[in-house]
Structure 1
Amino acid sequence: MHDAFAHVGGVLATGLAEVTCDLAVLDSGGWWAVVITYEGKVTCARFETVRPAPLPWAPWTGPTDWTTSMDEAAYVDGVRAIRDAIADGIVYQANLCRVLTAPLPAGAEIAGLGARLARGNPAPYAAVIDVPGARVASASPELYLSRDGDVVESRPIKGTGRTEQDLLPKDQAENVMIVDLVRNDLGRVAEIGSVTVPELCAVEEHPGLVHLVSTVRARLAPGRGWPELIEATFPPGSVTGAPKSSAVTLLDELEPMPRGPYCGAIGWVDADSRRGALAVGIRTFWAEEGLLKFGTGAGITWGSDPHREWRETELKAARLLEVAAQ
């Protein structure tokens, strides 16, 4: 059995000291790797040794024979159901996801997959975490929450295309809706008047595609820490929908498989310096019970074309599955 470790935020953490599901530890002391599943299962792992270092070498064999929790026909039906819900005034945006599953090849370790992702699909919030209860390799481009003292920031992504020319007015509308939602979420734990949007719908280039990205910033109100911040904002707005509570309920009915770490939060917290960064768990693989899983999805609005949305989920998955197959 290999040792637990985390490689996130450009550092390698070793010497596992404790694992807990209590978010309050993130305001106590020490350096923590964090994985929160979309369903709300929390894994916080404290490490004794944290230093800038590359990922440790580990074997990897690419999986084959992926299956999907929803095929094209089922996904298209789901998109139509969301459009009906929009017509009925239940939601005005929802993010429909599906989970791909393949047998985990014998001897393949998540660190080996992480190294391939780092080479083939470098990402600003790349993370590999291998601790009891959470084995994750992520190439996430999206910041869910960062914190520096009392200043917190979220950078929701909404709108995806191969090139900037592919982005539609629907993508811009979707982004603005989610920015509004994130502002409201942060407003519940922020000092009154401190929530700002320094950047709206900026175009960002990532391997193989472009995204629209906005930045929402706030200052935490006195007495508010990580537990209150996460409770007010989780699951991330960009992977649920608006209004969030209605979207979450609708998606629970439409999606046949739990999302797990996909669409959850993955990252690090240094409780001593009161700093940290949690990514949205997209472009993320995780291993459990002998299986490797990967999630993909698309934001659905009234303007959505069901088959185009299916193709967006294929586009988002294609490059990552190709990297993992090597």
Structure 2
Amino acid sequence: MEGVYDGFAHLSPGLLATGLRDVTTDLSALDGEGWWAVVVDYEGKVTCARFDRVREAPLPAPAGPWHGPGPVQWHSSLDRPAYEAGVRAIRDHIERGEVYQANLCRVLTAPLPADAEPLALAARLAEGNPAPHAAVIQVPGLSVVSASPELYLSRDGDVVESRPIKGTGVTAADLLEKDYAENIMIVDLVRNDLGRIAAVGSVEVPSLCAVEEHPGLVHLVSTVRARLAPGAGWPELFAATFPPGSVTGAPKSSALRIINELEPAPRGPYCGAVGWVDADRGRAALAVGIRTFWISAGEIRFGTGAGITWGSDPGREWLETELKAARLIALASTGGI
């Protein structure tokens, strides 16, 4: 495929970008000109890749089938006892009034065969786990393949929108009162974040706690919309809203501190932002980097997590992380689904 060796990107809604022009770590470039594929790690590392050619096209065919790790080769940064201990620690923080909710995540890692092609994994996910914000971005030093269901930020001129997900079950009947409360808390956080850079009175919630079906599970999804204040650009947007509220907690500052204490591995692109920005047309769609694989140094990684509240049961939260990971890990493993 043209441009694949220098870099390429294929992002929802079916945009194929080739002809890599340059790569920068400066978010202010997104307020300039050109079409950009964007990956921002949870820890704040920025990769903005500008491409010369962008067109509507299906995902290109890979050179061959996906060669992934074996199902038993995946190792978690937190095993079940450690994860459940983390849930109990967060409940202790909640009891002391330090936080209302915090997202506890773990990173799964496996060795990757040398002939593994990210585009082949993207094709496998597109068939076995289609997602509204699917993406594959490959530039020098970075390969990300995402099947994210969650919108972090979209932009159309000065109108921005976020669609946080909180609450997960196998079916709608599995959703608990705790899931709805968790979603509403995060909606309040996102309203507050957007309010920092929005025109006065423009923040609204068009949809609250809608049930969305995805492969193998359901989510509660809300929509928060705002109009940017004059002079607010991409650096200001990220400064006000990143990392996304749904993968941190409330209050965000306390949740970030607790997450840093409890999680032994960096999240990387997981829980960050993955998507595109069309600076020429003032449009963008950035997903929260969940259901996301990233490849580096001969290894593949995938993150999974759950939002912890006072009503959380440690065993149930572990099972939620398993539910979120199971289908994707099976698709990425040799001999999987």
Task: Name the TM-score class by shorter chain.
Answer: over 0.9
SS in 2 for 1:56: coil
> For residues 241-300 of structure 1, what are the alpha-carbon distances to aligned partners after superposition, in whole Å with 9 as ceiling and x for unaligned?
000011001100100000000000000000000000000000000001110000000000
Partner of 1:54: 58
SS in 1 for 2:258: helix
Equivalent positions of 1:1-326 (< 5 A) are 2-9=5-12, 10-58=14-62, 59=64, 60-64=66-70, 65-325=73-333, 326=336
Given residue 230 of structure 2, which amino acid in structure 1 is its aligned partner?
A: P
State how far apart, in whole Å, the 1-side matches of 2:186 and 2:77 are.
26
State how far apart, in whole Å, the 1-side matches of 2:179 and 2:124 are.
30
Output the TM-score relative to the length of structure 1. 0.99
1:140/1:284 contact within 8 Å kept: yes
Deviation at 1:55, TM superposition (A): 2.1
Given residue 69 of structure 2, which amino acid in structure 1 is its aligned partner?
A: P
Given residue 324 of structure 2, which amino acid in structure 1 is its aligned partner?
A: K
State how far apart, in whole Å, the 2-side matches of 1:85 and 1:288 are.
35
State how far apart, in whole Å, the 2-side matches of 1:55 and 1:122 are.
12
Deviation at 1:200, TM superposition (A): 0.3
SS in 2 for 1:62: coil
Deviation at 1:14, TM superposition (A): 0.4
Give the 4+ runs in structure 1 shifted more than 6 A. Answer: none
State how far apart, in whole Å, the 1-side matches of 2:110 and 2:302 are.
9
> For residues 289-317 of structure 1, what are the alpha-carbon distances to aligned partners after superposition, in whole Å with 9 as ceiling and x for unaligned?
11000000000000000000000000000
1:68/1:100 contact within 8 Å kept: yes
1:39/1:260 contact within 8 Å kept: yes
State how far apart, in whole Å, the 2-side matches of 1:91 and 1:170 are.
15
1:43/1:133 contact within 8 Å kept: no
State how far apart, in whole Å, the 1-side matches of 2:89 and 2:138 are.
37
Deviation at 1:133, TM superposition (A): 3.3
> For residues 26-80 of structure 1, what are the alpha-carbon distances to aligned partners after superposition, in whole Å with 9 as ceiling and x for unaligned?
1101000000000000000000010111222223212121000000000000000
Q: Which runs of 5+ in 1 are unaligned?
A: none
State how far apart, in whole Å, the 2-side matches of 1:188 and 1:109 are.
41
Q: Which runs of 5+ in 2 are unaligned?
A: none
2:269/2:294 contact within 8 Å kept: yes
State how far apart, in whole Å, the 2-side matches of 1:174 and 1:154 are.
16
SS in 1 for 2:33: coil
2:180/2:209 contact within 8 Å kept: yes
Given residue 146 of structure 2, which amino acid in structure 1 is its aligned partner?
A: S
SS in 2 for 1:203: strand
State how far apart, in whole Å, the 2-side matches of 1:133 and 1:264 are.
17
1:32/1:44 contact within 8 Å kept: yes
2:6/2:140 contact within 8 Å kept: no
1:235/1:263 contact within 8 Å kept: yes
Deviation at 1:18, TM superposition (A): 0.2
How many percent of aligned residue pairs carry the same amino acid?
A: 75
Deviation at 1:226, TM superposition (A): 1.1
1:35/1:134 contact within 8 Å kept: no
State how far apart, in whole Å, the 2-side matches of 1:115 and 1:191 are.
41
> For residues 90-112 of structure 1, what are the alpha-carbon distances to aligned partners after superposition, in whole Å with 9 as ceiling and x for unaligned?
10100000000000112011111
State how far apart, in whole Å, the 2-side matches of 1:2 and 1:17 are.
13
